[in-house]
């Protein structure tokens, strides 16, 4: 049993769509080979049936040999049983190959988008990335689904051609030369189909992006009366998608018609030639029946070849779109030779601002300009190639990104909650190991017990995308619980209580201090209730630390700090 999704989907070959698909194929060559083997057995056993029927008629009925009739009937029964068994296994392998390839490609694109972070948004919309993961990966997997039947079609075509050549050179040559020519004829519609499918996928991505943006801002749109404007934009974009679909329909319908008409025409030709040869006495009655059977059978490999052309075209279109996503480079460069990690509980120093965070302390960071504080948080979490930040004596840029992400966790001011069970959203690392006590402890620190208790299924409740069913304050508290469950050595919290009331904020501040005792925590906030619980506060002005001390010391000694945390009001 293959477990999906994969723990590690691997590093693909992105030099071309063909190389990308071949790289995927190499990783599942065993199931591909099994599918091809069963596909060949499945279709060759069908290809041999007309020969068995022809021999049974010729020897058993025309020549009145009952023993030969029984023998060929048993052979025919065996071929039927083989076809049935091989067909079942071929189908199982084909579905397995399709799912393996599709899931691996979807994971590769999704993981790359997650690793590149903000860089992916510079050239690709959210809708385009979503459409690539959800649609293009599944379409590209079709190339691996068709391999078993395509291999069987090729081998059975060769077998039939050899049998026909042994009976009639003319009929054998018609098959050998006619089938490749018919497949080439269908190739004339492939290029325009491929180009128009790519245009259609582009339009679908834009429509998905517009729909996602509209849904995300629906409350705001209703508040300002902008629903009609966005509805008009969505309607216009929908018409463009429809028109792109219509443009795809012509070559697609031509290809679909060709899959029926061209093999049918070929069957008529083979049948007509066989009948002529039987009348002229060049072939016996049994061979004529066999020729009729081959004429009917050849429809299957021919239609399989046509279907393969269609699926391979879709796969290449999907692979090209995935490679566009994979071509995006992260703004954060991984060190070629990462340095060994420093020991636990070492200072974190941002030379750019002068901020020095001693280990095991709860630190407050205050700035009159939120952008300045956010920039410091980005540097501390290494969201970009910023020099001058050291963990201990080692620059963050010299550590591996995995090490930085494991040891330093930044919870942003507008964090994202994904869809899934609440338990999985709060503990994506699954460190609770089936014991929910840790999860409930983190929920208590974030004062979010009421949020969980209000859900009918508790931690097993399903969370909507972006947590839309929760209020702003509820989302903020759940995200704080998730950050606490990371158990990071250094936790940077950006405005963790901006959406909650004063009483809730006071409880969270006290509990946070107790929960993070002995660990390093940086809270970027201007809340007096939160700052009063910190060990030390740093005040930033112009991007530099200009004052530090306890909250109460700075209130009395620094006018800029006092104005920022009291918002210009006297205490």
Task: Decide if 6 is inside a domain.
Answer: no
Same-domain pairing of 311 and 427: no
Same structural domain, 226 and 192: yes
72 falls in which pLDDT band (50, 70, 90)? Answer: confident
Task: Give tens-digit pLDDT for 555-568.
Answer: 998 999 999 998 75
* Percentage, residues of the chain above pLDDT 70: 84
pLDDT of residue 89: 94
Looking at residue 15, what DSSP letter applies?
S
- 222-273, pLDDT tens digit by residue? 444 455 666 676 677 777 767 777 776 766 777 667 667 766 777 777 778 7
Instruction: Tell me the mean pLDDT in the region 341-364.
Output: 92
458: in domain: yes
42 pLDDT tier (thresholds 50, 70, 90)? very high
337 within domain boundaries: no
Q: Based on the number of CB atoms within 10 Å of its own CB, is 541 exposed (0-12), middle (13-18) or buried (19 or more)?
A: middle
- Res 223: pLDDT: 47
- Does 188 lie in the same domain as 147? yes
Mean pLDDT across the chain: 82
Q: How does residue 73 score in pLDDT terms, banded at 50, 70 and 90?
A: confident
Does residue 169 sit in the same domain as residue 277? Answer: yes
Mean pLDDT of 92-111: 90
Per-residue model confidence (pLDDT) at position 38:
95
Residue 469: pLDDT above 50?
yes
Q: How many CA atoms lie within 13 A of 260 on its CB side?
A: 5
Q: What is the CATH number of the domain that holds 291?
A: 1.20.1560.10
What integer is the mean pLDDT of 525-536? Answer: 93
| 428: containing domain | 348-566
Same domain, 29 and 74: yes
**Which of the pair, 199 or 368, is modelled with greater confidence?**
368
* Per-residue model confidence (pLDDT) at position 221: 43
Residue 369 and residue 466 in one domain: yes
Q: Confirm if 482 and 475 have CB atoms less than 8 A apart.
A: no
Q: Is residue 255 part of a domain?
A: yes
The strand pairing partners of 548, in sequence order, are: 538
For residues 99 and 140, the answer to whether their CB atoms sit within 8 Å is: no
* Interval 304-311 mean pLDDT: 81
**What CATH code is carried by the domain that includes residue 498?**
3.40.50.300
pLDDT at 421 over 50: yes
Environment class of 567 (CB within 10 Å of its CB; exposed 0-12, middle 13-18, buried 19+): exposed
Calpha distance 24→350 (Å, rounded): 43
Q: Which of 291, 326, 361 is the last residue before a domain boundary? A: 326
> CB within 8 A of 17, min separation 6: which ones?
316, 319, 320, 323
d(CA 463, CA 421): 6
Alpha helices by DSSP H, 489-568: 502-515, 528-531, 551-557, 559-566
* Residue % of the chain over a pLDDT of 90: 32
| One domain, residues 293 and 374 | no
Q: How many residues does the chain have?
A: 571
**Domain stops at, among 326, 356, 385:** 326
Q: Is residue 339 part of a domain?
A: no
Q: Is residue 219 part of a domain?
A: yes
- Residue 509: pLDDT band by 50, 70, 90 thresholds? very high
Specify the number of domains making up the chain: 2
Does the structure show a pLDDT above 70 at 10? yes
Q: Which of 292, 326, 360 is the last residue of a domain?
A: 326
Which range is least confidently modeled, 64-68, 139-143, 446-450? 64-68
Q: Which has the closest alpha carbon to 79: 107, 42, 110?
A: 42
Q: Is the pLDDT of residue 220 over 50?
A: no
Whose structure tokens read 């050179």?
169
Residues 317 and 352 grouped into a single domain: no
Q: Rounded mean pLDDT of 492-520?
A: 92
What is the rounded (10 degree) CA torsion for 172, 175, 176, 179? 180
Q: Kindly state whether residues 313 and 405 are assigned to the same domain.
A: no
Asked whether residue 308 is domain-assigned, the answer is yes
- pLDDT tens by residue, 312-321: 888 888 898 8
pLDDT at position 32, please? Answer: 94
Q: Determine the pLDDT at residue 571.
A: 47
Residue 298: inside a domain: yes
Read off the DSSP letter of residue 536: E
Residues facing 394 on adjacent strands: 391
């Amino acid at each position: 049993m293959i477990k999906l999704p994969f723990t590690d989907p691997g590093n693909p070959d992105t030099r071309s769509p063909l190389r990308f698909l071949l790289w995927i194929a190499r990783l599942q060559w065993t199931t591909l080979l099994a599918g091809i083997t069963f596909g060949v057995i499945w279709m060759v056993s069908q290809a041999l049936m007309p020969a068995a029927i022809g021999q049974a008629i010729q020897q058993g009925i025309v020549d009145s040999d009952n023993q030969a009739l029984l023998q060929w009937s048993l052979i025919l029964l065996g071929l039927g049983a083989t076809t049935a068994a091989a067909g079942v296994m071929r189908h199982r392998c084909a579905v397995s190959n399709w799912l393996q390839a599709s899931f691996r490609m979807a994971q590769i694109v999704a993981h790359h988008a997650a690793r590149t972070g903000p860089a992916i948004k510079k050239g690709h919309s959210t809708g385009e990335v979503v459409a690539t993961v959800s649609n293009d990966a599944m379409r590209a997997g079709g190339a691996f689904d068709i391999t078993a039947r395509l291999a069987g079609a090729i081998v059975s075509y060769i077998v039939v051609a050899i049998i026909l050549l042994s009976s009639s050179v003319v009929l054998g040559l018609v098959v050998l030369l006619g089938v490749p020519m018919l497949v080439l004829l269908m190739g004339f519609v492939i290029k325009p189909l491929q180009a128009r499918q790519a245009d259609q996928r582009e339009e679908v991505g834009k429509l998905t992006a517009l729909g996602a943006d509209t849904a995300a801002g629906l409350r705001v749109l209703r508040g300002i009366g902008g629903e009609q404007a966005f509805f008009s934009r969505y309607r216009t974009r929908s018409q463009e998608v429809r028109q792109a679909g219509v443009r795809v329909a012509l070559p697609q319908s031509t290809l679909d018609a060709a899959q029926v008409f061209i093999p049918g025409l070929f069957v008529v030709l083979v049948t007509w030639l066989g009948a002529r040869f039987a009348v002229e006495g060049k072939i016996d009655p049994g061979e004529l029946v066999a020729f009729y059977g081959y004429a009917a059978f050849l429809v299957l490999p021919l239609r399989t070849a046509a279907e393969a052309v269609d699926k391979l075209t879709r796969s290449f279109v999907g692979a090209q779109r995935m490679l566009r996503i994979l071509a995006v480079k992260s703004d954060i460069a991984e060190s070629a030779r990462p340095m060994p990690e420093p020991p636990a509980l070492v200072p974190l120093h941002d030379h750019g601002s002068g901020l020095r965070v001693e280990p095991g302390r709860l630190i407050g960071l205050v700035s009159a300009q939120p952008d300045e504080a956010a920039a410091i948080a980005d540097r501390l979490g290494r969201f970009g190639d910023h020099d001058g930040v050291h963990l201990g004596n080692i620059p963050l840029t010299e550590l591996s990104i995995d090490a930085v992400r494991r040891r330093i966790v930044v919870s942003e001011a507008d964090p994202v909650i994904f869809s899934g069970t609440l338990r999985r959203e709060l503990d994506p690392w699954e460190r609770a190991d089936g014991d929910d006590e840790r999860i409930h402890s983190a929920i208590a620190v974030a004062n979010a017990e009421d949020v969980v208790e209000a859900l009918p299924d508790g931690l097993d409740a399903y969370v909507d995308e972006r947590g839309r069913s929760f209020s702003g304050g509820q989302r903020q508290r759940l995200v704080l619980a998730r950050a606490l469950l990371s158990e990071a050595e250094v936790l940077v919290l950006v405005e963790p209580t901006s959406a909650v009331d004063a009483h809730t904020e006071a409880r969270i501040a006290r509990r946070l201090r107790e929960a993070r005792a002995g660990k390093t925590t940086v809270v970027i906030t201007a809340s007096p209730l939160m700052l009063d619980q910190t060990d030390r506060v740093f005040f930033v002005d112009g991007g530099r630390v200009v004052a530090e001390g306890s909250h109460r010391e700075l209130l009395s000694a620094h006018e800029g700090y006092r104005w920022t945390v009291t918002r210009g009001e006297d205490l």
